């Protein structure tokens, strides 16, 4: 077992490493690093507008992500500093999509107003109650978001949309870094308590859904019509299996974690999750 003090130190170190890379290698600016003067309304389409609007909506739950995240990590200073930086980076994602919708003319100010009203009609709440489970969730969710945005970057490149290509290159690189940070936290948790962390990972995977799923009206329909989703196969191979490989969790361990979780009565399982 790793002591709480050692764990806090490891979280702090992980946050500082994240911050150093973010500041030195990954930082980008909405106003300077997107070639807005190359915006080309002839590349607008209904499909594209639904796609970008859905991504924008999912990023716009920032007040909920940030407030719940800050509360959950309050006693882990490193993790709470990461949360602050993460919130800033996620704010750029919502803003850059919003600016693209407006500057391309695909959405008017009034339509963006309606989008805000739709988003803030519902509140996102963390799908899992502990930092360890939310770290497992973050590794998967950020990995899935990275996979979706990377595909969009390639699509924009094929379509010759230079503005969207630059946007997705930058947001995808942020999401990849976020996934990497959460994987690091899961590694720390695995070193502290391997079995319990594997069981948490299995529990999170079995109950995984994207933040907008169940929150953004017609979420799946929007992803299907807009072409913004990833396939189940992309999720399994590109996100789940690669995350497991990077964490050193075997499929046999995961299965045994799943079997353990299923064997627990529901109430006991919820109590264990709350610890």
By the 10 Å C-beta count (0-12 exposed, 13-18 middle, 19+ buried), 21 is classed as middle
| Contact flag: residue 161 with Fe ion (CB under 5 A) | no
DSSP 131: H
Residue count (the chain): 275
| Closest C-alpha to 10, from 248, 243, 184 | 184
When the beta carbons of 175 and 189 are compared against Fe ion, the nearer one is 175
Find the shortest distance in angstroms from Cβ 267 to Fe ion.
33
Site membership for Fe ion, residue 178 (CB under 5 A) = yes
Site for Fe ion contains 153 (CB under 5 A): no
* Cβ atoms of 95 and 60 closer than 8 Å: no
The tokens describing 204, both together, are 């999170």
Which residues, 6 or more positions from 223, have their beta carbon under 8 angstroms from its beta carbon? 54, 229
Site string for Fe ion, 14-53 (x = CB under 5 A): ----------------------------------------
Cβ proximity to Fe ion, 53 vs 175, nearer residue: 175
Alpha carbons 14 and 85: distance in angstroms, whole number = 13
Least CB distance to Fe ion at residue 228 (A): 13
Q: How far is the CB of 137 from Fe ion (least distance, A)?
A: 12
Maximal CA-CA distance, the chain? 60
HSE-up (13 A, CA, CB side) for residue 174: 23
Which residues ranging from 111 to 150 are in contact with Fe ion (CB under 5 A)? Answer: 142
Q: In this structure, what DSSP letter does residue 262 have?
A: H
**Among residues 179 and 244, whose Cβ is nearest to Fe ion?**
179
Q: Which of 64, 99, 161, 175 binds Fe ion (CB under 5 A)?
A: 175
Region of 127-135, 152-160, 172-180, 199-207 interacting with Fe ion (CB under 5 A):
172-180
- Residues in contact with Fe ion, total (CB under 5 A)? 5
98 in contact with Fe ion (CB under 5 A): no
64 binds Fe ion (CB under 5 A): no
Helix (H) or strand (E) holding 235: none
Give me the residues that bind Fe ion (CB under 5 A), please.
90, 93, 142, 175, 178
């Amino acid at each position: 077992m790793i002591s709480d003090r050692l764990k806090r130190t490891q979280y702090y170190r992980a946050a500082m490493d994240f911050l150093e890379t973010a500041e030195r290698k990954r930082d980008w600016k909405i106003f300077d690093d997107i070639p807005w003067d190359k915006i080309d309304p002839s590349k607008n389409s209904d499909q594209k507008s639904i796609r970008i609007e859905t991504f924008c909506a999912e990023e716009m739950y920032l007040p909920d992500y940030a407030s719940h995240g800050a509360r959950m990590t309050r006693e882990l200073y490193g993790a709470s500093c990461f949360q602050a930086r993460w919130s800033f980076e996620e704010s750029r994602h919502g803003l850059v999509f919003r600016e693209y919708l407006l500057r391309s003319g695909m959405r008017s100010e009034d339509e963006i107003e309606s989008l805000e009203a739709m988003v803030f009609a519902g509140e996102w709440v963390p799908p899992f109650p502990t930092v360890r489970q939310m770290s497992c969730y973050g590794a998967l969710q950020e990995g899935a978001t990275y996979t979706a945005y990377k595909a969009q970057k390639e699509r924009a490149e094929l379509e010759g949309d230079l503005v969207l290509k630059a946007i997705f290159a930058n947001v995808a690189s942020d999401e990849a870094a976020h996934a990497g940070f959460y994987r690091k936290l899961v590694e720390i948790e695995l070193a502290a308590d391997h079995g319990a962390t594997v069981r948490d990972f299995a529990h999170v995977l079995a109950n995984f859904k994207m933040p907008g799923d169940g929150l953004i009206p017609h979420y799946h329909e929007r992803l299907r019509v807009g072409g913004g989703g990833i396939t189940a196969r992309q999720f399994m191979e590109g996100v789940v299996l690669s995350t497991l490989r990077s964490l050193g969790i075997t499929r046999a361990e995961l299965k045994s974690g799943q079997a353990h979780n299923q064997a627990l009565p529901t109430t006991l399982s919820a109590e264990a999750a709350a610890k």
